């Protein structure tokens, strides 16, 4: 439970050719070998790509803290102090450059072997010792951002509050790290995943859209308007029963029972012992709730649906599949 609450605080703060035999004189033979050797072509392409990336620097940009920063050369040592930024970096192919991640990082698997730099409280001494030329942070890191800048660290702050902001953050990270082409590729894939869901649920009449209770903590914390999860549920064709409130409200049991959701989505199952779905089914006072009676209770991958990173649209698909499985089984 302590781990769930710690992670919840983090949420608030918070992807051969064979050479031909040459004809003619020795000079033409040499030229033919150079153009037909696939290894030379591949090496040349890599060199051109590297030259092009290096030519992108220095780069000046403004991050989500409103700070204008100049990055003189392509970062070679990167520290990420929050999981969403780490996931973005790996999706952009920067895994080999990541030298430090937060204690809460758990995706992808490679992060398990990377130096840890603290959790809700960052270990600044450790971060400095890793000699990063770029630190990836989030507005949820609060005062720690300025503390790192005061230590002379180059900090890129992301702060997406919605799906469109996530796309922009990925493109911004790509610009800062010389991976703009890959960033555009990742964003295009995410947009395709989003559009697929929107198209699948577009014909569901408003009056037939399912009402949803989103539970992000066993002590009945939920999500209201202005949050990622509210946006994802709406895009997936659902109606959040708490959308008349803002942020991350804690509500009473009576209020949930009165609003009688048709579907219950749980986001903390992968951080608790036991079966979260069964736990909700067995709540004494919830037996009259439509979602409980009809067995419409689903445990989502909490990281996937709350981190503003490259997996967020996969989280959208998971939500839509929970609400309208028949749309995905056609």
For residue 286, how far is the Cα from the chain centroid?
33
State the 10-residue block means of pLDDT for the chain, 330 residues long.
48 36 39 48 50 73 96 97 98 98 97 96 97 97 97 97 97 98 98 97 95 96 94 98 96 97 95 92 97 97 95 97 88
Cα(212)–Cα(167) distance, integer angstroms: 26
Fold of 203-328: Rossmann fold (3.40.50)
Q: What is the pLDDT of residues 291-302, one digit of tens each?
A: 999 999 999 999
Cα(298)–Cα(301) distance, integer angstroms: 10
Query: What is the model's pTM?
Result: 0.84
Locate the domains of the chain by residue range: 57-178, 203-328
DSSP, collapsed to helix, strand or coil, labels residue 287 as: coil
Cα–Cα distances (Å) from 126 to 79, 100, 106, 162, in that order, read 10, 9, 19, 32
Tokens (6 digits) for 163: 């799906």
CA 314, 315, 317, 323: dihedral to nearest 10 degrees? 170
For residue 28, what pLDDT is reported? Answer: 40
Helix (H) or strand (E) holding 195: helix 180-201
Pair type for strands 59-62 and 68-71? antiparallel
Asked if domains 57-178 and 203-328 share a fold, the reply is yes
CATH class in words for 57-178 = alpha beta
Looking up tokens 């009402």 gives 211
Cβ distance 300 to 271 under 8 Å?
A: no
């Amino acid at each position: 439970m302590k781990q769930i609450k710690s992670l919840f605080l983090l949420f608030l703060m918070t992807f051969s050719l064979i050479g031909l035999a040459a004809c003619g004189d020795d000079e033409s033979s040499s030229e033919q070998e150079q153009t037909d050797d696939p290894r030379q072509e591949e090496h040349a392409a890599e060199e051109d790509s590297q030259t092009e990336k290096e030519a992108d620097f220095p780069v000046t940009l403004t991050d989500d803290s409103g700070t204008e920063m100049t990055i003189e050369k392509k970062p070679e040592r990167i520290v990420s102090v929050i999981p969403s930024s780490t996931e973005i970096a790996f999706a952009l192919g920067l895994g080999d450059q990541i030298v430090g991640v937060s204690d809460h990082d758990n995706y992808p698997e490679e992060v398990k072997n990377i130096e840890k730099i603290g959790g809700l409280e960052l270990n600044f001494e450790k971060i400095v010792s890793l000699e990063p030329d770029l630190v990836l942070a989030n507005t949820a890191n609060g005062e720690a951002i300025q503390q790192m800048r005061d230590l002379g660290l180059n900090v890129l702050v992301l702060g997406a509050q919605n799906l469109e902001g996530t796309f922009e953050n990925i493109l911004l990270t790509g610009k800062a790290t010389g991976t703009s082409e890959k960033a555009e590729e990742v964003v295009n894939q995410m947009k395709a995943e989003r559009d697929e869901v929107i198209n699948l649920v577009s014909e569901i009449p408003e009056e037939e859209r399912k009402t949803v209770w989103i539970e992000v903590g066993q002590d009945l914390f939920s999500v209201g308007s202005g949050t990622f999860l509210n946006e994802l549920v709406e895009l997936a064709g659902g109606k959040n029963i708490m959308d008349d409130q803002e942020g991350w409200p804690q509500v009473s049991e009576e209020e949930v029972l009165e609003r009688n959701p048709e579907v219950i989505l749980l986001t903390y199952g992968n951080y608790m012992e036991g079966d979260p779905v069964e736990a909700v089914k067995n709540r004494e006072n919830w037996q009259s709730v439509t979602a409980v009676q009809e067995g419409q209770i689903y445990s989502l991958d909490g990281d996937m649906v709350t981190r503003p990173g490259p997996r967020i649209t996969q989280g959208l698909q998971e939500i839509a599949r929970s609400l309208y499985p028949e749309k995905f089984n056609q």
